[in-house]
């Protein structure tokens, strides 16, 4: 297992603390003119998403976390697990509801997502910042209401519900910002 000294700390480095994998968010080197140097570090727990602050003496060493990001194609959900495939090796990996989390509402079969693996087990699945999806259910728009910039809920093919402008109809294809869950624009029909 690789080890990292405080002088190698930087944003994005994956390390182990108390048996959990963490990603370094910020690293601040603190050094009194005379005296012990420290690193004040902000880290995100990759299992829980919680952010914590730790202070290390400069020179302290942490184990690296065997965490890798890979592009995975979403195949299907069997009701309990979400199944993905590595498009180059064709290796299949199934992810639990915890790992899939809120991303499940954006998962469309055949599309590619970023899977973070820790010791070969999926920690998180991340959707691209924007996805293109079809509206499968929405009330018909009411003419004349567009001036107020009104919106209405629309259910997308993956099950996600977003607010869309009134003129959109079932069967329309739209671009959505997955970070905010917001409608961005109309897309050409897929």
Partner 1 sequence: MIQKKFQLRAMLYQKIRTFFSERNVLEVETPLLCQHTVTDPHIESFIVPINGDAINRVSTNYYLQTSPEYAMKRLLAAGSGSIYQITKSFRVGESGHQHNPEFTMLEWYRVGFDHHDLMDEIDLFLQILLQTSPADKISYRNLFLKYLQFDPFQIDCESLKKLISKNNIAVDTNDIDHDTCLQILLSHLIEPTLGVEKPLFIYDFPVTQAALAKIRHDDPPVAERFELYMNGSEIANGFHELTDPVEQQMRFEKNQRDRKNNQQTVPAIDHYFINALKSGLPHCAGVAIGIDRLLMQYTKTKNIQDVVSFTFDKA
Site residues for partner 1 per CB under 8 A: 7, 27-38, 40, 52-58, 60
Toward partner 1, which CB reaches closer, 31 or 163?
31
d(CA 131, CA 180): 12
* Closest CB 27 distance from partner 1, rounded Å: 8
Toward partner 1, which CB reaches closer, 10 or 180?
10
Toward partner 1, which CB reaches closer, 28 or 139?
28
DSSP-derived letter for residue 60 is -
H-run or E-run covering 72: strand 67-77
Q: Are 6 and 56 in contact (CB under 8 A)?
A: yes
CA angle, corner 9, sides to 8 and 14, nearest 5?
A: 110
Toward partner 1, which CB reaches closer, 33 or 140?
33
* Closest CB 8 distance from partner 1, rounded Å: 11
* Closest CB 43 distance from partner 1, rounded Å: 10
* Closest CB 55 distance from partner 1, rounded Å: 4
H-run or E-run covering 98: helix 97-100
């Amino acid at each position: 297992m690789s080890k990292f000294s405080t002088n190698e700390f930087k944003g994005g480095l994956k390390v182990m603390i108390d048996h959990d994998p963490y990603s370094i968010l910020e690293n601040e080197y603190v050094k009194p003119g005379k005296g012990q140097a420290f690193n004040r570090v902000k880290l995100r727990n990759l299992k829980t998403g919680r952010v914590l602050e730790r202070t290390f003496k400069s020179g302290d060493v942490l184990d690296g976390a065997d965490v890798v990001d890979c592009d995975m194609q979403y195949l299907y959900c069997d009701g309990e697990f979400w199944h993905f495939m590595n498009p180059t090796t064709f290796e299949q990996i199934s992810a639990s509801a915890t790992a899939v989390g809120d991303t499940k509402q954006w998962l469309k079969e055949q599309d590619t997502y970023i899977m973070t693996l820790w010791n070969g087990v999926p920690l998180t699945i991340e959707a691209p910042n924007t996805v293109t999806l079809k509206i499968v259910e929405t009330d018909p728009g009411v003419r004349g209401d567009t001036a107020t910039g009104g919106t209405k809920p629309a259910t997308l093919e993956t099950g996600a519900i977003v607010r869309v402008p009134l003129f959109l109809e079932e069967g329309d294809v739209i671009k959505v910002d997955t970070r905010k869950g917001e409608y961005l624009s109309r897309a050409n029909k897929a």
